[in-house]
Each structure stands twice: as structure tokens, then as C-alpha cells.
Amino acid sequence: MNKNLEIINSEINNLNILSKVNNIDEIIKRSSILIKKYPQVQIFYNFLGSSLEKKNQIYDAEVIYTKALEIDSKNIFALVNLGRISRIINDLERSEQLLKQALSLEPENLLVQLNYGELKIDQNNFKEAIYIFEKIYEKNKDFQNVIMRLATVYSIIGEFEKAEKYLSINSKKKPELFAADYRLSNIINYSERKDHQKLILKKIENKKFDKFNKHLLFFAISKSYEDQKDYERAFKYMELANKERNKLVQGNPLRYEEYFLNKNKEIFSNIDIKENINNDFYEKKLIFIVGLPRSGTTLLHQILSSHSGTYGVGESIVLNVFFFKNFMNDIFLKKIKKDNKINIENLKEISLKLGKKYDYYDLNKIKIDKAPSNFFWIGFISTLFPNSKIIHIKRNIKDNCLSIYKNLFGGNRTDWTYDVKNIQKYVKIYREMMDFWKSKINKKIYEINYEDLVKNQEIEIKNLLNFCNLEFEQECLQHHKSKNPIKTVSINQSRHPIYKDSIESNLKYKNFNNLFKDI
């Protein structure tokens, strides 16, 4: 047997052992060395790429998978993972190309199909996503939790009966998968039904589940008691849910937000942000809805995207992905500023590049981006997109904080939402950032109060449309009947007419006001 082959097989075996004990750092160290020594051996790239992903080093993993494909363009593992990473970093066009290539090589590969279905969700092509996931489910009901993906897509498009069917199957088949119960809690009205509430309580009391973090069950049961207007119990489990979820948080969850605030102020403090009339920039109109999470951004998105001339992108990651990658890069920062002025010439390429990403969703209609945290990028939005409209929605701060505290958010960028002090810090950052932008470009920002929108729906919607230079359409008043997809935690609420129960909702929770008395 070839001596090199023996060594390679031995090293692969060692990496498999390290993988089983989850020694990620050692895998990264060894596989990096092995790639230099044996650059043609594909599996070492696979080990390194997947380990870098586990360390959340997405862009480093992207480089490794790209190198793997340069050596072997038919490496399925690299094609799938690079396709998935491209989707995560919002390069949907590249993701489509890579995953289609993988499908052409192995059309029956369920993992490739699954990733292609995930891409279809991000492309807002929900019918195709359902078709793909249903086909996978027919072949293998247990493959990669495809049943949860089906439930997710049906929830997004408002087909709650089908979503509930799949979630109920999963909850019974895999009782330790608490995510199914949490998703069910967002669909079920517990003032009318108590069967699922009883099931959750049994799981909470079941000793065999004590080894799992039960925050999902606590959030679910809290919502059930709120539906039943038992606010004392609802708050008890709300607190438990946040304490349990907060145990999973590592480090300072607001380190980026603090940096973004300070860096924006440093860049724009001595700059007069004027109207950009440069014709070489992206010229189409974009509408940005910003504010705190749970402030009413989804409601505004539903109203505006019900208009025939608009397309609701949802909570786009276009700006956040771009600035997360570049905002801490000194070379980028030097390029955008020159002699205490924004370097317009160097921003043209960025404007067109980001504009193209919005055009990917729809070439002709006005796109609406409702990512709340885009308030960090208002200075850039104003410069990069001269014809953009910026809408800032504000809500009673205690109601807003309660809505943040009682909900579970996805991803580690919202890890701050599970701790009272972190919520207060985020609110402070948000207020300081918005005050700064208003001191710079107040005329560019349209402010609307959630409470005014709820109380004076028709007047406020007409004013809003007028600001966006859109003709009034009756459909904007009937936004809850729209079939537009909803991907946020407002997935069920936004399918109903505007309701006034959410105003001063914090007063129902006596203990909550003690927690947030300093807000």
C-alpha cells in the first residue's frame, strides 16, 4: 500500500475522532497543515470548511470551499456548502448557480434538494420551496427535519392548518423537539383551545426532559396563558423562558451594536449629509422601515406591500450583511471618507452593487425593506440610494420592551433580547443613534407612532402613502387580507385587522413594570 495513502487515511481517521469529541480548534489546526501538505485531497477542505463554520467564521469557510472547487469542480460537499454560505451572505444568484450545478451532478441527493428548498424561501419563491420539501418528505419523512421546514413555509404564507398538521406530527413523534411546540404556540389561540397547553405542561413536568434547555416550552406556555388573560402565570413563564435562553448567550451580545453606534458618529459627525443627486448611483426608489424590533415594522410592511406598485422584501439582510463584513475593515472605511467628506466616487460601485441585490427580488416594483436594525445605516442609505424613503416607527417604549421580552427571536444577533439590562442598553443605543441621524437628516426621515396608526388607521396610512409618493389604494386598508408572506414572529398577528389590545399592554403585567421602571 502507498505510504502516502496510509498516512492520509490515518489523518482522516484522526480528524473523524476529533470531530466526534467536538475538538474544533484542533481540527482547524490539523486540516490547515494537511491541506498545505496534500492540496489535492478534498476531504481535508471539507473538514476545515465545516469547522470554520462552527466557529462562525463564515467568510473564511467560503474561501476554503472555493479553493476546494478550484481543485475539483464536482466536489458535491463543497458545492452544497458554498451554495448554502452564499445564501447566508445574501449572494442568492451565486447560491442558485452552485446548487443547480450540484443538482445536475446528483439530482436525487436529498441534502442538495433541501438546500435548494431553503434558497427558494430566501428568494420568496414559497410554492417551489413547498414542492421541494414535499418531495423530500415523501422519500424520507425523517430527513434533516424536513417536516419543520414544511411547517415553516406554510406558516409564512398563512396556511396555518397545514402548518399545524406538520408541527403536531413532529411534536408527538419527537417530543424532545420543543421547537415544534413553540411554533404551534404562535398559531394556536389558547382562549379557544387548551389541548396543546396541557401537552406543554406535561413536557415541562416530565423529568426525562430536564437535561434539555426548556426555554422554548416556557415561551410557548407563557403565550398560552396570555391568550387566556392569566397574566400572572404568563409573566412567571416569560421570566423563566428568558432566564433559560439567556444561559446560552456567550460574551457581550451588544458588542457590534456599540461599535456601529460609535463608528457611525465618528464617520458622520463632521459631515453635512446633503441630498445626493449623482445620476450614476442606484436611481430606483427603495422604502426602508426602521425602529426597534416589535415596534410595528411588520404591520407597516404589510400595509405598504399591499400596494400594487410595491414589493415587500421583508426583513432583508442586504445591508446588514454588507456592513457587518465591511464596517470593521480599515481599508473600506478609508475609501468612503475623504477630507472630512463622504467620498462619493468610491460609493458608486457600492450603490449599484447593493441596488442589484434588491433588483434580484423584482426589477420593476418599489422594494420595501423592513429590517428594524437598518436604523444603523441611515446615513449610508441616504447617500447610497438618493431616491430612498426612510420610515421610522415608534411605539410606547414599555409596550415595545414587553413585546421584545415575551418573544423568541432567531439567530445570535438578537441574543440581547433575553436580558432586561441588555434590552435597556439596546434601547439606549437605538435612541442615541436615531437622535444623531435626526440631527443630520431630519427631513429625510418620516416618523410615525404605532399608537396613532392603530387609532387613526385611514388618516395615517394616507399620510404614509403620500410620503412615499404612492397613490392611495383601498387594498392598503385591507392589508390583513393580503397573501404577502410574513417571516417574522408577527407571523399570525399580521393576518388579522389592526387591533387596539396591544396599546398599553404592559399595564396588564404588574411585575413587568418593576423590571423596566428605568427604561
Q: Angle at Cα 375 formed by Cα 371 and Cα 378, nearest 5°?
A: 115
pLDDT, position 518: 75
What is the spatial distance between Cα 20 and Cα 34, in angstroms, rounded to a whole number?
19
User: What integer is the mean pLDDT of 141-155?
Assistant: 95
Q: Give the DSSP per-residue string, 135-190.
A: HHHHH-TTGGGHHHHHHHHHHHTT-HHHHHHHHHHHHHHSTT-HHHHHHHHHH--T
What is the spatial distance between Cα 515 and Cα 401, in angstroms, rounded to a whole number?
10
Q: Decide the pairing of beta strands 341-342 and 337-338.
A: antiparallel
What is the spatial distance between Cα 381 and Cα 268, in angstroms, rounded to a whole number?
13
- Specify the amino acid at residue 222: S
pLDDT, position 486: 64
User: What integer is the mean pLDDT of 1-10?
Assistant: 80
Strands, sheet with 310-314, edge to edge from the N-terminal-most edge strand: 310-314, 366-369, 286-290, 389-394, 445-449
- Report the candidate in 144, 186, 142, 140 with the shortest Cα–Cα distance to residue 163: 186
Considering only the C-alpha atoms of the chain, give the largest distance between any 2 of them, rounded to a whole number of Å. 81
pLDDT, position 484: 65
pLDDT, position 170: 93
| Residues forming beta bridges with residue 448, ordered by sequence position | 393
What is the spatial distance between Cα 215 and Cα 203, in angstroms, rounded to a whole number?
12
For 220-266, the pLDDT digits (tens) are 999 999 999 999 999 999 999 999 999 999 899 999 999 999 999 99
Report yes or no: 464 and 446 within 8 Å, Cβ to Cβ: yes
For 457-500, the pLDDT digits (tens) are 999 999 999 999 999 999 998 877 766 666 666 555 555 667 77
Residue 69 Cα distances to 65, 77, 83, angstroms: 6, 10, 12
Report yes or no: 123 and 90 within 8 Å, Cβ to Cβ: no
Q: Which position has the grid cell 502516502?
A: 4
What is the CB neighbour count within 10 angstroms for residue 308? 10
For 389-422, the pLDDT digits (tens) are 999 999 999 999 999 999 999 877 899 999 999 9
The pLDDT confidence band at residue 1, using thresholds 50, 70 and 90, is very low
- DSSP, collapsed to helix, strand or coil, labels residue 277 as coil
Phi and psi torsions of 292, nearest 5°: -75, 155
Contacts of 401 (CB under 8 A, 6+ apart): 423, 427, 506, 516, 519
What is the spatial distance between Cα 77 and Cα 112, in angstroms, rounded to a whole number?
9
Residue 409 Cα distances to 211, 302, 477, angstroms: 22, 20, 28
Task: Share the mean pLDDT of the chain.
Answer: 92
Q: Is the backbone of residue 294 left (phi > 0), alpha (psi -120 to 50) or beta? A: left
Which domains are seen in the chain, by residue range? 255-515 (3.40.50.300)
- Report the candidate in 479, 259, 286, 490 with the shortest Cα–Cα distance to residue 395: 490
